[in-house]
Structure 1
């Protein structure tokens, strides 16, 4: 009886405590920064702070206090999605049981190291706190190389959920779990139901979307749960998720057309299960990369992945013997079981094998996996001894690599797409592959309901067509009035442009009739691409005859410094001439820090150019940074070019990026690259380019192709070209001893 009475008394005290807290809790409606400051230090359990709808500029919010599990302290918007934090604003949480929600960070950047930070300083951290239904949209430092986090989790038992993050463009991890003190280790954070939208190619290391830990603390366990998040086109670098700690769980997430991999970079004992990867055949879409000890990878579904090497559909790495903490630890006791691989181009084992990474995987197993490639190409590559991975019970529809064939049964298997969107066997008699009832998280189940998930890139020619008649002023006015995606169609005649034209939107400028519209310009550059700008030119004649009589002109350039947005440049069916009024007159030159997603030239004619056609070599510090991801040249004619057709440079030893890529097909080069100021002495100069395809081109009385291979096992193909009175291509390996790895076949050399 006494025990029952004591229980009743304790329960009554709990109820009275809750009633007391509820009775004293306050709601604060705040309409300015000073009003927030006045109450911020006195918040108590159960209090709610409501920020008035509107725009709050340069608002550094310190949200602190001691809430309780049943009575958290809340910070929210009057209406979710109607409170905008702009300029140099941020949010810091310190204390316990805090919950922030409903805010939008846009049109600015953080003045500190993070937009949202679960700490006040290194001693005052957040615990049992939550950030939900918050939007961070293109909230980037204008200096692309200035690093910050969008979200930094410190402390323990915090949750980051149902948030919308899109457009991280400057250096730094989008969401980072920090383990740099005891109070942030074994943290049991939860990261769930977030929408991670488009993160463009960053062009060097520092573009991860989610990182858990760092190499310095990688032997520490984090116990972070990452589940039910949607990663759409998170293309920053090769590591989408970079796990650098132990005992984490990553499950039930969707990776949609995301270039890169979920990487267990450091740390042991992580569980990767029931994740869905849809590559849809997009370049460099990857899956899972395995490093370190005791990793479990099971019941994942991977489809349509094209990536290779460190970004392949599935990769098991080689390690470094007695590795330092920041290099590659040997794979040991990896359990890879019941995963489904459908149309995954590459499964790579003992990847990265070289003189340093010589420790092969050991004591590991790959069992009951299903491997189906509808093109009948087997996906396995072994770069070293893979006997330390035991294969058993796996099924494939093709013959596989002999090293693993003993544990992979060939079986004709028909697939059918189920209601969840997965291609699974028609019958359940097979024990291999992911479970049949695997769920697929829908995009609209993540993020917030009140903020639109818009397409990542505005397509050319997706807006209105506007007719422009007769004069440069009409053209300038049309550019000013246009919206992204619009087409400006120019009637015939000559447009003598006296001003530099800034392009800060996605714009097509085309001739109404091909070859009937001529543009001349009186400034050192005709078009300058700014943030938000992309340019497509079609059917125009562009002449440099009215340009200043001085060195260093160009037709198109980016801003000289300070671009944070990637851009696109396309030109087709156009004639470029008389770029020779003085020396070093280039067609296009990049500013420092600018990165093109693509530069594509098709069916154009260039004649009389005193400089280069494409100057893409401003990043000379050898830090792994480069200026263009994809350069494509098809069926163009280049004659009397003193400089190079292209100078494309990527220096350094960084291995975290996929580009640059160059594709040249069907072009004719006559008298290209022989000018005395062309220091490269090349018609085509490539340094550190990762993927090169030079096919069916004709070089006449031109400087040679000069290619310098650096890191990353570059893939270079030079095939079916004609070199008439032109030296054969030169390919040099700058980082690896021995002959070059390029493929040169079926090229014709004509000597006169």
Structure 2
């Protein structure tokens, strides 16, 4: 090509660009009808500007053919001032589309996604970008009705610098779909986003990011997940679930997030430069490796407590000749230059059983730093690991280390560098583990600058105290109270004739312990609703004025299930005479209600015809349950016809953490022996993952019944006295062999014990 032709071509390109700029238009629209009129007119370079305000029930289809140098844009008049509410969503189709500045809240999507990079299977978005968009608690009110917040289809799309917080119903927060060639080898980029707290779902389906599905796991995606901040993303055991090949998970920060980055399916993925900060939070995990040719390098992991499939680092066993949706053998994994600092568990050949018998092979773990301040070795080996070669790693002195070669022991002293990470002071030792050039992504640098990153929970007792002396003022105070407020009841009797609806974080306490007596004439005294968290302190609650009917309760959750997780606390209180008819319970959870935490301490329960805690409504056996943490310590239970606890998690799903029960220092007398107690137990646990029963004193009561299902449950029963109360029974419903519960130092006897 001659110089003159080159100059002429450049001039034509310049003129075309100037022409496009000259005709490009900005279309301000203030209602849906105007938007529909403008949409067909859009050409490359044009912009649609949505007027500030609330747009109700707006299903936006944004389509057009932009160009790389002249995208078609959809933007807010002012970032953060355009609110999509009700049943609104956004679908993109075409080329080079750009969306920014919108907020989705106060509603839920009427389709399968809030934002979809397609209109239908044939109309996809390519080379398109969604940036500076907020999705805030935009959830289907049925927690088990599944949808996605973002679904990426097509190719070469970007989802960046967005703020997503509070996904509460089932479904992945951001999913990359690979069905059909047009969605594969997509080269999507998910970067700079703030993934705010996602509460525990209590079932499978709570991932924050999923790339692909098992059906397309042999396909390559080439998706990059980069520079994101994962803030307490606790939905389930997989925070990021990679189910495709050739992806890069690079330079992300995981802060106190329960679960792991899981290479579940697909080969040839890279996990590099990520920072996992657990800060000792329960079930915080790191990286789980499955499949072929996975590279794990320069990742920093500190303060992680997770175990089994949620460990700080896990290398799985596979299934020989595995079906596409099961566990493929680990082959050629390369794990090098990572720092594992105060990581409690590193599991190798994990999941080994009759089916998962294909051990890792041709794999290397090298040049890593292992340091545990408590000098406890983190390694657990569940099968033959001769196919994993350890070489040139360094560790401090670790007790009971089962890895005999490839880890050199040294006197290591650590110091926190300017990047906030710990490194060995010794220069030679600092060559192991992560590079000093690693820069964790700060929370402040992700998402948007104009939308606050608020705390997900309001603490009890963090508001104003209101001292009351009458029932009428109690009704009024509950209605007007703000989150965190405390209602203090003066001494006296409070005859309550309506159920008290709790839809905020609220404490109700007695001015003087047990000097405020509450009776009630409805079927329930309290109902915890969406947004509700309740703390009761120092009260005397009696069922003597309750209806003469079956199935009353002191506390219940909303009858039709709840979207938001709740907390309940009861301390220093007296609960009595819940016996005006049979099956009068203290706490009765509905189906599809989920408690993050229930904490009961220093209370007395007496003369109750039903159960104390009924957390057994999810009987579909799908791995769903009613409470994550149930803590019952230092209480007295006497003359209880039903069980103190009925806690149920059925099915074989392995993607959740709980339930957890702590049952310690309690006294039980004549508990669980009523004819209607079908469990024939004072404590009945089915599928509970972690149970601790210690220093309890049980007299003339039904026995403790524990049924282990799946997930290698931990049950410790120690230092208890069982007098005329039978010996606890533990049954393995799925695993073969002896029960895995640990029982020690229990005193079991019949007759009177004067000690």
2:591 corresponds to: 592
The aligned residue for residue 455 of structure 1 is 455
Cα distance in structure 1, aligned partners of 2:52 and 2:75: 10
- Deviation (angstroms), 1:738: 1.2
* 1:233 match: 232
Tell me what 2:81 maps to. Answer: 82
Rounded to whole Å, the distance in 2 between the matches of 1:205 and 1:656 is: 6
Equivalent pair of 2:699/2:723 in contact (CA under 8 Å): yes
Note the C-alpha offset of 1:401: 5.7
Shift of 1:212: 0.3
What is the Cα deviation at residue 402 of structure 1? 5.6
DSSP-derived class of the 2:486 partner: strand
Instruction: Please tell me whether residue 446 in structure 1 is matched to residue 446 in structure 2.
Output: yes
Task: Using the TM superposition, give the Cα deviation of residue 456 of structure 1 relative to its aligned residue in structure 2, in angstroms.
Answer: 1.4
Partner of 2:12: 13
- On the 8 A contact 2:369/2:432 being kept in 1, the answer is yes
Q: Partner residue of 1:473?
A: 472
Aligned to 1:206: 205
Q: Gaps spanning 5+ residues in structure 1: where?
A: none
- Counterpart of 2:28 in structure 1 is 29
What secondary structure, in the 3-state scheme, does the structure 2 residue paired with 1:594 have?
coil
Listed one character per residue, the Cα deviations across residues 163-185 of structure 1 (whole Å, up to 9, x for unaligned) are 00000000100000000111010
Quote the residue 1:714 is aligned against.
713
d(CA) in 2 for partners of 1:428, 1:50: 56
2:215 maps to what in 1? Answer: 216
Deviation at 1:426, TM superposition (A): 1.0
Structure 1 stretch 35-44 or stretch 260-269: which is displaced more?
35-44
Cα-to-partner distance string for 1:170-205 (whole Å, 9 max, x where unaligned): 010000000011101000000000000010000010
Q: What does the per-residue CA deviation read over 1:533-587, in whole Å, with 9 as the maximum and x for residues that have no partner?
A: 0000000000001100000000000011231100001000000000000000000
Cα 1:401–1:357 shift into 2, 3 Å:
farther
Q: Are 2:396 and 1:397 equivalent residues in the alignment?
A: yes
Match of 1:694 in 2: 693
Q: Following the alignment from structure 2 to structure 1, what is the Cα–Cα distance between the partners of residues 641 and 189?
A: 59
Residue 330 of structure 1, CA deviation: 0.2
- CA-based RMSD: 0.8
Whether contact under 8 Å (1:397, 1:413) holds in the other structure is yes
1:706 is paired with a residue of what secondary structure? Answer: strand
After TM superposition, the score normalised by the length of structure 1 is 0.99
Aligned to 1:670: 669
Give the corresponding residue for 1:511: 510
Indicate conservation of the 8 Å contact 2:468/2:488, yes or no: yes
**Number of positions where the alignment pairs a residue of Structure 1 with one of Structure 2:** 750
Residue 621 of structure 1 corresponds to 620
Within a 5 Å distance, the mapping from 1:295-306 to structure 2 comes to 295-306=294-305
Contact 1:50–1:76 (Cα < 8 Å) also in 2 = yes
Aligned partner of 1:150 in structure 2 is: 149
Q: What does residue 292 of structure 1 align with?
A: 291
Aligned to 2:734: 735
Provide the C-alpha distance between the structure 1 equivalents of 2:244 and 2:165, rounded to a whole number of angstroms. Answer: 25
Q: In the alignment, does 2:648 pair up with 1:649? A: yes
Contact kept? 2:596, 2:628, Cα under 8 Å: yes
> 1:412: how far off?
1.2
Q: Distance in 2 between matches of 1:649 and 1:560?
A: 18
- Give the deviation of 1:10 after TM superposition: 1.4
Matches of 1:238 and 1:49, distance apart in 2: 41
Could you tell me whether the CA contact under 8 Å between 1:27 and 1:49 is conserved in 2? yes
The answer (yes or no) to whether the contact 1:660–1:690 under 8 Å persists in 2 is: yes
Q: For the residues of structure 2 that align with 1:389 and 1:11, how far apart are their CA atoms?
A: 58
SS at match of 2:305: coil
Which residue of structure 1 lines up, in the alignment, with residue 568 of structure 2?
Answer: 569
Matched, 1:464 2:439: no
After TM superposition, give the deviation of residue 24 of structure 1 in Å: 1.3
Matches within 5 A, 1:344-423: 344-399=343-398, 403-423=402-422
Task: Name the structure 2 match of 1:94.
Answer: 93
For the residues of structure 1 that align with 2:743 and 2:505, how far apart are their CA atoms?
A: 38
The answer (yes or no) to whether the contact 1:114–1:148 under 8 Å persists in 2 is yes
Please give the secondary structure, in 2, of the residue aligned with 1:7: helix
1:334: which partner in 2? 333
Q: Give the 3-state SS of the residue equivalent to 1:607 in structure 2.
A: strand
Distance (Å, rounded) in 2 between the aligned partners of 1:184 and 1:427: 49
Query: 2:144 & 2:257 partners in 1: Cα distance?
Result: 22
State which drifts further: 16-25 or 329-338.
16-25
1:609 matched to 2:608? yes
CA distance in 2, matches of 1:236, 1:423: 29
In structure 2, C-alpha distance between the alignment counterparts of 1:5 and 1:142, rounded to whole Å: 66
Q: Which moved more, 1:17-26 or 1:446-455?
A: 17-26
CA contact (8 A) 1:379 1:400 kept: no
For residues 454 and 425 of structure 2, the distance between their equivalents in structure 1, rounded to whole angstroms, comes to: 36
Tell me the CA shift for residue 428 of structure 1: 2.1
Aligned equivalents of 1:13, 1:365: Cα separation in 2: 56
How far apart, CA to CA, are the structure 1 residues paired with 2:61 and 2:401? 61
User: Residues 57-99 of structure 1: CA distance to partner in whole angstroms, max 9, x if unpaired?
Assistant: 0000000000011110010001000000000000001001000
Give, in whole Å, the separation in 1 of the partners of 2:357 and 2:173.
33
> In the alignment, what sits opposite 1:108?
107
Matched residue, 2:498: 499
Structure 1 SS opposite 2:119: coil
CA distance, structure 2, for counterparts of residue 109 and residue 37 of structure 1: 22
Aligned partners of 1:364, 1:22: CA distance in 2, in Å?
55
1:261-276 paired onto structure 2 within 5 Å: 261-276=260-275
Query: By how many angstroms is 1:473 displaced?
Result: 1.1
Deviation at 1:405, TM superposition (A): 2.0
Distance in 1, matches of 2:203 and 2:212, equals 20
SS of the residue corresponding to residue 36 of structure 1 reads helix
Q: CA deviation at 1:321?
A: 0.3
TM-score, length of structure 2 as denominator length:
0.99
Q: Does the 8 A contact of 1:381 with 1:401 survive in 2?
A: no
SS in 1 for 2:663: strand
Partners of 1:402 and 1:411 in 2: CA distance: 14
Say which is worse superposed, 556-565 or 361-370, in terms of deviation: 556-565
In structure 1, C-alpha distance between the alignment counterparts of 2:62 and 2:493, rounded to whole Å: 61
Q: Which residue of 2 aligns with 1:118?
A: 117
**Secondary structure in 2 matching 1:17:** helix
The answer on whether the counterparts of 2:379 and 2:401 sit within 8 Å (CA) in structure 1 is: no
TM-superposition CA deviations, 1:581-605 (whole Å, max 9, x none): 0000000010110000011001000
Cα deviation 1:436-494 (Å, max 9, x = unaligned): 1210111010000000000011111111111112x111111000010111111111101
More displaced stretch, 129-138 vs 400-409: 400-409
Indicate conservation of the 8 Å contact 1:386/1:403, yes or no: no
Deviation per CA, 1:104-123: give whole Å up to 9, x if none: 00000000000000001000
Q: Secondary structure at the match of 1:85?
A: strand
Q: Secondary structure at the match of 2:123?
A: coil
Q: How far apart are 1:751 and its partner, in Å?
A: 1.1
3-state secondary structure, aligned to 1:452? coil
Moved more, 569-578 or 458-467: 458-467
Q: Counterpart of 1:181?
A: 180
The separation in 1 between residues aligned to 2:662 and 2:395, in whole angstroms, is 33
